[in-house]
Structure 1
Amino acid sequence: MSDPTRRALVVRGGWEGHSPVAITDLFLPFLTSEGFTVEVSDSLDVYTDTELLAATDLVVQCWTMGQATPEQTEGLANAVRAGTGLAGWHGGIVDSFRGDVNYQYLTGGQFLMHPRGFHDHEVRLVAERARHPVIIGLSDFQVHTEQYWMATDPLIDTLATTVFPADEERGREVVMPAVWTRNWGEGRVFVSTIGHKADDFDVPEVRTLTERGLLWASR
């Protein structure tokens, strides 16, 4: 009989300000409890291992900034296109490999800026997507953390947003995607912009939608 256990690959590194080891460690027990065999890599070279990625059901990436080679991001994109899921949060997925347009095309968004420091703001769920398995049963909620200003792809399916109020620079209120999914070939991509610090995941809604996002993205 074939082994039914799913395989997850956690790829972590880059800028240490996002605590890639400590925060991804929060989710390792969850993945194991959901039947995943988990492998952890601190090297982007794993994205060139075609055989490994083909056998991987879910890639969880937490790698802020840094540089990836075209071969590495192409390997990741090809794997997702063939059915491997990709998921992540905050700068670990949408502030990775700045300037790599092909990678941004895969994830559907790129971090541009955030207001200085942490501040209270509301995460609003998109009513039209209320029955999506990532957010079903959840309600709007408050967080005290960074709020990301994003450049996003029109092909993403936005599940939650935040609002930037009007100021002298912007001139008007702006509704910004904060959590989204997308299908990419045979694969799925889940992105949450929430998760700068470990205690962001102490907010029950943040933890729940992140865990659900990992499962949704998995093959």
Structure 2
Amino acid sequence: MRSALIVYGGWEGHDPEECAALYRRWLHEDGFSVRVENSTKAFADPAIHDLSLIVPIYTMSRIEKDEVENLTKAVENGVGLAGHHGGMSDAFRDAVEYQFMVGGQWVAHPGNIIDFTVDVTRPDDPIMAGIKTPMAYRSEQYYMHVDPSNEVLATTTFSGEHAWWIKDVVMPVVWKRHHGKGRVFHSTLGHSVKEFSEFPDMATIVRRGINWAARDEQAP
């Protein structure tokens, strides 16, 4: 059986506990054993090296040196990492090792909650199969600093209405990548837990993504 760890906390505005419960239900339904923790201390546990998947839901906050070193080493050695929005890509702003692993870091969401569209760039990828494009969305449109090695699956284009100097900038929204032997998946969508029910295609993408990232039980 594949095994997963969900670690939630940090800024409450991203509904970390509610999102953790959603992920826990999905993972149980998809055949995982699941452990849920609400402290970054879990990242320092040597046992995480035996997991299939780690899901961080921990906006902002701090991570200790021993915690980030153990977490990044576990992923480098093959444990999967997956998550969404600021719970993964606006976590631990002073930990560049963490940002290197994730493949991106949030820096702005001009206009805050706005209407925008998401364009699927890789409809041939199983994570994106059958997803309508363009996908109308309402949330924070994340402006990211991103790793050019990411395999981008979906993008959004900024209108310039809320920051004229970024008009027509095309920004990754969904990507996958490798960090060492580990597979990493991220979606910048999902400011609040209600978006997972309001936008079922988004939920489908994330659920497929976490399953893609998870290491098989038999993997070395």
Calculate the TM-score normalised by the size of structure 1. 0.93
- Whole-Å separation in 2 of the counterparts to 1:48 and 1:90: 23
* Maintained 8 Å contact 1:143/1:200: no
Please give the per-residue CA displacement for 1:77-103, whole angstroms capped at 9, x wherever unaligned.
100011100001000000000121111
- Whole-Å separation in 2 of the counterparts to 1:166 and 1:20: 30
1:153 maps to amino acid: D
Q: For residue 217 of structure 1, report the CA deviation from its aligned partner.
A: 0.5
**Which residue of structure 1 lines up, in the alignment, with residue 125 of structure 2?**
132
Of 192, 203, 208, the match for 2:204:
208
Cα 1:122/1:22, change in 2 over 3 Å: same
Greater CA drift, 162-171 or 135-144: 162-171
1:42 maps to amino acid: N
- Whole-Å separation in 2 of the counterparts to 1:117 and 1:48: 34
Describe how 1:8-157 pairs up with structure 2 within 5 A. Answer: 8-50=4-46, 52-126=47-121, 129-140=122-133, 141-157=135-151
- Whole-Å separation in 2 of the counterparts to 1:30 and 1:117: 29
**Which residue of structure 1 lines up, in the alignment, with residue 152 of structure 2?**
158
Please give the per-residue CA displacement for 1:46-93, whole angstroms capped at 9, x wherever unaligned.
11112x112210001100000001211111110001110000100000
* Maintained 8 Å contact 1:9/1:59: yes
**Which residue of structure 1 lines up, in the alignment, with residue 218 of structure 2?**
none
Provide structure 2 residue ranges, at least 5 long, that are not aligned to the other structure: 216-220
- Whole-Å separation in 2 of the counterparts to 1:97 and 1:190: 18
Q: For residue 116 of structure 1, report the CA deviation from its aligned partner.
A: 3.0
Q: Calculate the aligned-residue CA RMSD, in Å.
A: 1.2
| SS in structure 2 of the partner of residue 7 of structure 1 | strand
* Maintained 8 Å contact 2:158/2:166: no
* Maintained 8 Å contact 1:11/1:44: yes
Q: For residue 171 of structure 1, report the CA deviation from its aligned partner.
A: 5.8
Identity among equivalent pairs (%): 41
- Whole-Å separation in 2 of the counterparts to 1:120 and 1:169: 16
Provide structure 1 residue ranges, at least 5 long, that are not aligned to the other structure: none
* Maintained 8 Å contact 2:62/2:94: no
Calculate the TM-score normalised by the size of structure 2. 0.93
* Maintained 8 Å contact 1:12/1:20: yes
Query: Which consecutive aligned stretches of 4+ in structure 1 deviate over 2 angstroms post-superposition?
Result: 166-169
Please give the per-residue CA displacement for 1:2-42, whole angstroms capped at 9, x wherever unaligned.
xxx11110000011111100122122121101110110011
- Whole-Å separation in 2 of the counterparts to 1:169 and 1:135: 31
